[in-house]
């Protein structure tokens, strides 16, 4: 880095407000204050951070996809689901409900705890057998985020979808 690149250009910190009111100007134009350029390390900034984050999320989605899709195709998801209280990731691969846009279903989850001791039955119409569901809570903060049916499909409803 040469000497010129080490400091910000003096115009960078110049303000038209300083020119309007000479009593507020604390430095003369002949002797401008020089500001040393801050590096990415000083700014705690990673210029490749977005690409790294995107690659990590794509890897998480692929990990949770069925084995047949992991090698041949790129796995897809309708949303990334997070807990509404602590923002812990709950699911990287899910499908949005056809009728209720705030509901999702998934087979592979993370940071979820199923309570098999607490079971609910949904009485279906037309003399169909009653379906059983288990409460699913966020492992981190214990918020009720979903129900799991007897076929181990998770039905998310209390989540943040990204």
Distance CA 134, CA 152 (A): 9
Residue range(s) defining the domain that contains residue 82: 77-161
CATH, residue 107: 2.170.150.20
On whether residue 143 sits in a domain, the answer given is: yes
Residue 91 neighbours by CB distance under 10 Å: 28
Residues 88 and 149 in one domain: yes
Residues 111 and 38 in one domain: no
On whether residue 28 sits in a domain, the answer given is: no
On whether residue 5 sits in a domain, the answer given is: yes
Cβ(110)–Cβ(90) below 8 Å: yes
Residues 105 and 122 in one domain: yes
Residue 80 neighbours by CB distance under 10 Å: 18
* Run of H or E including 67: helix 67-72
On whether residue 27 sits in a domain, the answer given is: no
Half-sphere CA count of 130, side-chain side, radius 13 A: 7
Sequential pLDDT tens for the chain (162 residues): 555 677 777 776 677 665 555 554 444 454 456 777 777 777 787 888 889 988 888 887 777 666 655 555 556 778 889 999 999 999 888 888 888 888 899 988 889 999 988 888 877 676 667 788 999 999 999 999 999 998 999 999 999 998
Residues 154 and 90 in one domain: yes
Residues 98 and 149 in one domain: yes
135: left (phi over 0), alpha (psi -120 to 50) or beta: beta
Cβ(105)–Cβ(154) below 8 Å: yes
Q: Which residue has tokens 């949303």?
A: 79
Cα dihedral sign, 7-13-18-24? negative
pLDDT for the residue numbered 102? 86
Distance CA 128, CA 45 (A): 58
pLDDT for the residue numbered 31? 46
């Amino acid at each position: 880095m040469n000497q010129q690149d080490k400091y910000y250009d003096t115009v960078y910190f110049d303000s038209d407000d300083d020119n309007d009111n000479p009593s507020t100007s604390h430095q003369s134009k002949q002797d401008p204050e020089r500001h040393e350029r801050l590096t990415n390390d000083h700014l705690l900034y990673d210029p490749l951070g977005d690409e790294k984050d995107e690659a990590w999320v794509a890897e998480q989605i692929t990990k949770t996809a069925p084995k047949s899709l992991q090698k041949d195709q790129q796995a897809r998801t309708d949303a990334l689901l997070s807990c509404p209280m602590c923002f812990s990731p709950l699911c990287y691969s899910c499908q949005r409900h056809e009728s209720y846009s705030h509901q999702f279903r998934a087979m592979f989850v993370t940071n979820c705890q199923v309570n098999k001791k607490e079971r609910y039955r949904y009485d279906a119409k037309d003399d169909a057998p009653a379906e059983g569901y288990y409460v699913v809570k966020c492992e981190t903060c214990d918020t009720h985020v979903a129900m799991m049916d007897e076929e181990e499909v998770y039905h998310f409803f209390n989540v943040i979808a990204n």
